[in-house]
Amino acid sequence: MLVKRTMKLARSITLALTAAALLAGPALAQTYELKDCEQDDRAWLSLRACTSLLQGSELSNEDRARIYARRGLAWLIEDDAADALTDFTSAIKLNPKDLRALTGRARAYTLLEQHAKAADDWSAVIALDADVEANYLKRGASHLAAHNTNAAMADFDRSIALNPKSIDGFIGRANVFVTLNDKVKALAEFARAEEIDPKHFAPYLARAEAAEIWGDTKLAIENYGAALKVKTTVWAARKALKRLGIDTPP
């Protein structure tokens, strides 16, 4: 917690210094271009450049929305969902059809555990970008986290209709049944996901996590182990097995 507060304070100081430099006059102010704002691998530069650009008075609403959205993405990289939410909202007010801002805000709401609001943003994304499997999967996950199982199942069904080999779609359906405490149907959906690609770790990992919810330690250990057999870097499985008292190979 102390580390996060320190990092946030450092970011705040960086932004404050940028603003101060701008107010001090052109001799001290750094000149930034839009490309400087779009730095995925250097979020600190993106934050500084986007903040500097937003001080300009000649920006169009479209460009200003774009910069707010880009700064929001930088905040997400810096693990600051609250500031990201503020910037994405500013972008959406200027351009309600900004897909990058809508998807970014949905991610921010998810990190802040405001799942119903995340689902609303995914609905807006789907209205603009329909028939994209990933959008239904993400809205389904938000609905499920918000305990709206009927809406979640409808979205996972839609993802499977768009892609009959959607492993994530079947895992999503299985997780709905886990939430509904229907073990038989959940296991059937996990099995369907596994049949699509037996060498994909995701069905094993999801089934193991469900098994822990059911208190079935044996099934959990078997499936965490199976996940590691197909992909040795599934760290969630390694951590889970260690927690359950099972040693795993390095």
DSSP string, 162-212: H-TT-HHHHHHHHHHHHHTT-HHHHHHHHHHHHHH-TT-HHHHHHHHHHHH
How far is CA 58 from its chain centroid? 33
- pLDDT, tens digit (0-9, with 9 covering 90-100), for 91-111: 999 999 999 999 999 999 999
127 pLDDT exceeds 60? yes
pLDDT (0 to 100) of residue 15? 52
- pLDDT, tens digit (0-9, with 9 covering 90-100), for 6-38: 555 555 555 544 444 444 444 334 677 778 888
**Structure letter (DSSP) for residue 97:** T
- pLDDT, tens digit (0-9, with 9 covering 90-100), for 151-168: 999 999 999 999 999 999
What is the distance between the alpha carbons of residues 110 and 101, in angstroms, rounded to a whole number? Answer: 14
Ramachandran angles phi, psi of 135, nearest 5°: -65, -40
pLDDT (0 to 100) of residue 125? 97
Q: pTM of this prediction?
A: 0.84
pLDDT band at 56 (very low <50, low <70, confident <90, very high): confident
Which bin fits 40, alpha (ψ -120 to 50), beta or left (φ > 0)?
A: alpha
pLDDT (0 to 100) of residue 10? 52
